[in-house]
Structure 1
Amino acid sequence: MKHKTVIVDDHPIVISGIAGLLSDLDNIEIVEKFESGIALLDYIEDNNVDLILMDIFLPVINGVDLCKTIKQKYPKIVIIGMSSQSERSLVMQFIQNGGNGYILKNASFDEFKECIYKAIDGEIVFSEEVKTIISQPLSEDLERIRV
Structure 2
Amino acid sequence: MNHDNKLSFAEKLGYGMGDAACGIVYSSVTMFLTWFYTDIYGLSAAAVGVMFLVTRVLDAITDPLTGIVADRVKTRWGHFRPWLIWFAVPYAVLAVMTFTTPEFGASGKLVYAYLTYTLLMLCYTFINIPLLRIGRSHYA
TM normalised by structure 2 equals: 0.25
The answer to which structure has the higher strand fraction is 1
Q: Greater helix share, 1 or 2?
A: 2
Question: What TM-score results when the alignment is normalised by the length of structure 1?
Answer: 0.24
